[in-house]
């Protein structure tokens, strides 16, 4: 019998404690690994997608037909530098692979080998040889022909377009991912708190054994060494399955996530092999050792004074003040994240201190001894369950913030869809065609009585004077200014902005330009347009949802002569007339057999479906975190209250009825969980504010609206009550069992003194 086996005997004697600790470690690892896996996979896929479609051009048939091998052969014979690009969505996969011909790619790259493309091996992540890709059983496959536009002239049957398939959401995707990253860090913090609380609980129950071993002459350092070995063994047993479980969880959700990313962020989700073992293993192992064994690195006196002593309130206050100052003043993301960490640490320290101080004060003020004892017992619970309570508080705050963020994103995406896809159809004016004649035709043939709405968009460039410099901005000129745009939500505006815009009495600017240059409604904007310098009042600021370029929106009817139109399109809601009649007429008018028409309705429908999915996934992950925190509090509340049961039994011995004792226990459990929820509200609101109003503007230059959802607060409070009731019911069960008289005061101390 060795001291180490004697230490391990705790888990032989109390196997369920070992199982609970291991399970919590496993679940915590799985949770964080899952979230990390999803975000890193999404990030890697997005980055891969951006990389592979960057600055590439494709060939399309003018008649709109799909490209075939015959097209490839014909174009190659014309001497064009071409590469076939076969995108395949395999039957049992959620992400695409790309079949390429490395030999053909050589004419782009100038050098390389036949076993790789863009420096990446042809292993299917995402690139593979086109012959292998063609042989895959596929749900969907599409051939593209990537072309070097300078390699030769095209015949009239083909045209060159950008290799991009959907509207660009700009930085909206990056923003969403950044917020997910921030949440993943928060989940890591909560995971750490949970692990620490459960581990400390198991240690506290073994403290007598440690003391005894010390009396037997086993040095404290050696006992700590055994505990580290035990921890490593526990980690080996739980981390690997936890990581595996996290991956399974992530992969189960990844299909949905991939399609979400694909739908949302204009990036085809390509197969990307993420390294999912190393980072979670190292992070979780470090976290485990840090949260469980870090105490031994801090001198006892310092730890006692910092955590238990009266200074913790002051320390918490200081962290909060410094953190809040940082949040307000931070001018870069790093400072902001540090400030968030300080605020969370301050809030975490403050909560047990506050509740403990409150209970002491209320206990002192009580005249009835039983009530005084109730408040004292509440204080004991708050002190001894401080860590799981803080974990629950932060989890609730996170869920609150995520709920607000996701709902805000949801609403923002809706508005973005409304703005970008306001009409049912989007129609490009072909190169060389005259948009003005089409506008004339539409004005004559789409009467208001038909319910049809339309406008023409002329896109070009202008320069605005900002300080002493002139900067290029995009110009969107609309005509007519009608119901397709007048529903847009403006951040700020003058009186009747749309009427004045239509009358050419001013311009609207996008949020990005306004934020960057501190412009607002009513300001005057010097504008160099078609060689003329005019000064226009700003009628309002409209949200751009992440488009980084500065934009000026003006009336197309008041464009100066000589304005260079770089792109022209129509947005049309055809009403009762039908789009086929309109495209047929315009096709005839322009003498173009095939027009590029985008069905905005179906895109919006698809986008809505994937939005719903992504938001459901995000909510699911945060709710899992909350569930984990709730289970931890439940377990710890149960175990800890069991050690105090003896004192409640005394009440029974003194003549109190068991139902009355149960009510006291239940009310204590409810009060504790409800306290965590109530204190989570300000933290959650603060976190929401930081995410939408500070992180986003600092990272991307635009903000999301700060919306609060009080209905959800009530849901969280109800959830906290459910947790409290569960603890109370478990205690009710315990109350019926024989309680063990505490033999050593240290095992049941509530730090009452």
Q: Which is nearer to other proteins, 208 or 434 (CB)?
A: 208
Rounded to whole angstroms, the Cα distance separating 172 from 415 reads: 13
Least distance to other proteins from the beta carbon of 402, Å? 42
Using the rule CB under 8 A, is 532 a contact of other proteins?
A: no
**Cross-strand bridge partners of residue 537:** 524
Q: Is 1 in the site for other proteins (CB under 8 A)?
A: yes
**224 touches other proteins (CB under 8 A):** no
Element (H, E) at 144: strand 138-147
| Helix boundaries (H) for 507-599 | 511-517, 579-590
* From 65, 131, 135, 212, residue interacting with other proteins (rule: CB under 8 A): 212
> What is the smallest separation between the CB atom of 700 and other proteins, expressed in angstroms?
56
Residue 2 C-beta: closest distance to other proteins, Å: 6
Q: Which residues contact 751 (CB under 8 A, 6 or more apart)?
A: 308, 380, 383, 384
Decide: is 743 part of the binding site for other proteins (CB under 8 A).
yes
Q: What is the C-alpha separation between 743 and 753, in angstroms, rounded? A: 19
Encoded tokens for 361? 């004060």
Beta carbon of residue 212, minimum distance to other proteins (angstroms, whole number): 6
**Residue 631 beta carbon to other proteins: minimum distance, rounded to whole angstroms:** 25
- Of 77, 215, 310, 737, the one binding other proteins (CB under 8 A) is 215
Residue 649 lies near other proteins (rule: CB under 8 A): no
CB of 204 to other proteins, least distance (A): 14
Given 533, 740, 751, 752, the residue binding other proteins (CB under 8 A):
740
Burial pattern 266-275, b for ≥16 Cβ within 10 A else e, equals bbbbbbbebe
Q: Which of 26, 28, 218, 630 binds other proteins (CB under 8 A)?
A: 218
Q: By CB neighbour count within 10 A (0-12 exposed, 13-18 middle, 19+ buried), where does 51 fall?
A: exposed
Q: Give the whole-angstrom CA distance, residue 646 versus residue 742.
A: 7
Tokens encoding 54:
């960057």
- Pick 19 or 252: Cβ nearer other proteins: 19
DSSP 151: S
Q: Select 275 or 743, whichever has its Cβ closest to other proteins.
A: 743
718 binding other proteins? (CB under 8 A): no
* Beta strands at 532-542 and 507-510: parallel, antiparallel or unpaired: parallel
Q: Is 56 exposed, middle or buried (0-12, 13-18, 19+ CB in 10 A)?
A: middle
What is the CB neighbour count within 10 angstroms for residue 546?
23
Q: In whole angstroms, how close is the CB of 12 to other proteins at the nearest point?
A: 7
Kindly determine how many residues on this chain lie close enough to bind other proteins according to the rule CB under 8 A: 22
d(CA 27, CA 13) in angstroms, rounded, equals: 23
> Considering the rule CB under 8 A, would residue 219 count as an interface residue with other proteins?
yes
Scanning 3-11, 150-158, 472-480, 555-563 for contacts with other proteins by CB under 8 A, the matching segment is 3-11
Query: At its nearest, how many Å lie between other proteins and the CB of residue 753?
Result: 15
Residues whose CB falls within 8 Å of the CB of residue 654, separated by 6 or more in sequence, listed in order? none
Q: Which is nearer to other proteins, 219 or 705 (CB)?
A: 219
Q: What is the DSSP letter of 689?
A: H
In whole angstroms, the minimum distance from the beta carbon of 313 to other proteins comes to 24
The string of DSSP codes covering 584-643 is HHHHHHHT-S---EEEHHHHHHHHHHHHHHHHHHHHHHHHHHHHHHHHHHHHHHHHHHHH
Closest distance to other proteins from the beta carbon of 226 (Å): 13
Site for other proteins in 101-130 (CB under 8 A): none
Q: Which is nearer to other proteins, 222 or 516 (CB)?
A: 222
2 versus 535: smaller Cβ distance to other proteins = 2
Print the binding letters for residues 4-43 with other proteins: x by CB under 8 A, - otherwise.
--x--xx-xxx-----------------------------
How far apart, in Å, do the first and last CA atoms of the chain sit? 38
- Residue 3 in contact with other proteins, rule: CB under 8 A: yes
Stretch binding other proteins (CB under 8 A), from 51-59, 162-170, 215-223, 415-423: 215-223
Using only the alpha carbons of the chain, give its radius of gyration.
32
φ and ψ at 657, to 5 degrees? -70, 150
Closer CB to other proteins, 206 or 420, in the complex: 206
**Residue 522 found at the interface with other proteins (CB under 8 A):** no
CA distance 309 to 306: 6
> How far is residue 337 CA from its own chain's centroid?
15
Judging by beta carbons within 10 Å of its beta carbon (0-12, 13-18, 19+), is residue 674 exposed, middle or buried? middle
Q: By C-beta, is 367 or 741 nearer to other proteins?
A: 741
Q: In this structure, what token pair is assigned to residue 669?
A: 């459990």
C-alpha–C-alpha distance, residues 112 and 206, integer Å: 64
CB 227 to other proteins: min, Å: 15
Q: How far is the CB of 213 from other proteins (least distance, A)?
A: 8
Minimum distance of other proteins from residue 632's CB (angstroms): 23
Q: Which is nearer to other proteins, 1 or 297 (CB)?
A: 1
Applying the rule CB under 8 A, the residues between 180 and 209 that interact with other proteins are 208-209
- Give the other-Cβ count within 10 Å of 257's Cβ: 25
Q: Using CB under 8 A as the criterion, which residues of the chain lie in contact with other proteins when the complex forms?
A: 1-3, 6, 9-10, 12-14, 208-209, 212-219, 740, 743-744
């Amino acid at each position: 019998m060795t001291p180490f086996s004697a230490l391990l005997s705790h888990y032989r004697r109390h196997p369920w404690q070992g199982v609970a600790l291991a399970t919590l470690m496993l679940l915590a690892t799985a949770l964080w690994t899952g979230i990390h896996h999803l975000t890193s996979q999404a990030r890697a896929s997005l980055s891969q997608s951006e990389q592979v479609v960057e600055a590439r051009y494709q060939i399309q048939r003018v008649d709109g037909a799909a490209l075939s091998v015959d097209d490839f052969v014909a174009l190659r014979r014309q001497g064009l530098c071409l590469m076939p690009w076969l995108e395949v969505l395999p039957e049992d996969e959620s992400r695409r692979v790309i079949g390429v011909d490395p030999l053909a790619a050589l004419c782009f790259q100038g050098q390389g080998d036949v076993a790789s493309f863009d420096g990446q091996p042809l292993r299917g992540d995402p690139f593979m040889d086109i012959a292998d890709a063609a042989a895959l059983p596929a749900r969907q496959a599409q051939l593209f022909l990537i072309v070097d536009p300078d390699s030769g002239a095209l015949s009239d049957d083909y045209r060159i377009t950008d290799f991009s398939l959907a509207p660009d959401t700009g930085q909206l995707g990056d923003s969403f991912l950044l917020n997910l990253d921030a949440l993943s860090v928060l989940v890591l913090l909560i995971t750490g708190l949970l692990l620490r609380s459960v581990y400390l609980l198991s240690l506290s129950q073994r403290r007598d054994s440690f003391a005894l071993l010390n009396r037997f002459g086993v040095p404290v350092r050696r006992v700590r060494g055994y505990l580290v070995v035990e921890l490593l063994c526990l980690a080996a047993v739980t981390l690997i399955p936890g990581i595996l479980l996290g991956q399974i969880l992530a992969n189960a959700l990844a299909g949905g996530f991939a399609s979400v990313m694909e739908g949302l962020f204009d990036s085809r989700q390509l197969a990307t092999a993420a390294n999912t073992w190393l980072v979670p293993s190292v992070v979780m192992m470090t976290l485990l050792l840090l949260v469980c064994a870090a105490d031994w690195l801090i001198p006892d006196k310092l730890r006692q004074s910092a955590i238990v002593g009266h200074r913790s309130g002051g320390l918490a206050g200081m962290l909060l003040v410094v953190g809040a100052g940082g949040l307000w003043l931070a001018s870069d993301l790093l400072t902001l994240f540090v400030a968030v960490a300080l605020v969370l640490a301050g809030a975490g320290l403050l909560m047990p201190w506050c509740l403990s101080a409150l209970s002491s004060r209320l206990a002192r003020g009580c005249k009835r001894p039983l009530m005084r004892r109730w408040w004292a017992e509440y204080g004991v619970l708050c002190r001894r369950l401080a860590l799981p309570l803080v974990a629950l508080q932060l989890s609730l705050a996170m869920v609150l913030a995520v709920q607000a963020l996701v709902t805000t994103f949801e609403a923002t995406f809706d508005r973005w869809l409304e703005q970008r896809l306001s009409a049912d159809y989007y129609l490009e004016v072909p190169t060389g065609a005259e948009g003005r004649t089409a506008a004339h035709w539409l004005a004559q043939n789409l009467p208001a009585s038909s319910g049809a709405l339309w406008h023409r968009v002329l896109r070009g460039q202008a320069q605005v004077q900002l300080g002493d410099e002139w900067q290029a901005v995009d110009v969107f000129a609309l005509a007519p200014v009608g119901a397709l745009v007048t529903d847009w939500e403006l951040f700020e505006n003058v009186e009747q902005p749309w009427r004045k815009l239509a009358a050419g009495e001013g311009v609207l600017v996008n949020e990005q330009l306004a934020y960057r240059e501190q412009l607002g409604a009513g300001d005057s904007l010097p504008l160099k347009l078609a060689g003329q310098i005019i000064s226009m009042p700003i009628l309002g600021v409209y949200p751009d949802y992440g488009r980084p370029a500065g934009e000026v929106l003006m009336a197309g009817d008041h464009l100066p002569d000589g304005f260079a139109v770089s792109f022209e399109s129509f947005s049309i809601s055809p009403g009762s007339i039908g789009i086929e009649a309109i495209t047929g007429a315009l096709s005839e008018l322009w003498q173009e057999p095939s027009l590029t028409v985008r069905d905005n309705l179906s895109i919006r429908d698809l986008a809505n479906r994937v939005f719903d999915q992504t938001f459901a996934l995000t909510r699911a992950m945060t709710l899992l975190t909350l569930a984990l925190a709730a289970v931890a509090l439940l377990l710890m509340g149960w175990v800890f209250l069991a050690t105090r049961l003896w004192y409640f039994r005394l009440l029974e011995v003194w003549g109190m009825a068991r139902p009355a004792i149960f009510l006291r226990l239940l009310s204590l459990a409810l009060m504790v969980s409800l306290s965590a929820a109530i204190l989570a509200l300000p933290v959650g609101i603060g976190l929401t504010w930081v995410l939408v109003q500070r992180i986003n503007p600092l990272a991307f230059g635009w903000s999301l609206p700060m919306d609060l959802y009080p209905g959800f607060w009530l849901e969280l409070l109800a959830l906290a009550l459910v947790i409290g009731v569960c603890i109370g019911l478990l205690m009710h069960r315990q109350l019926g069992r024989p309680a063990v008289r505490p033999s050593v005061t240290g095992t049941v101390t509530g730090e009452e003194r």
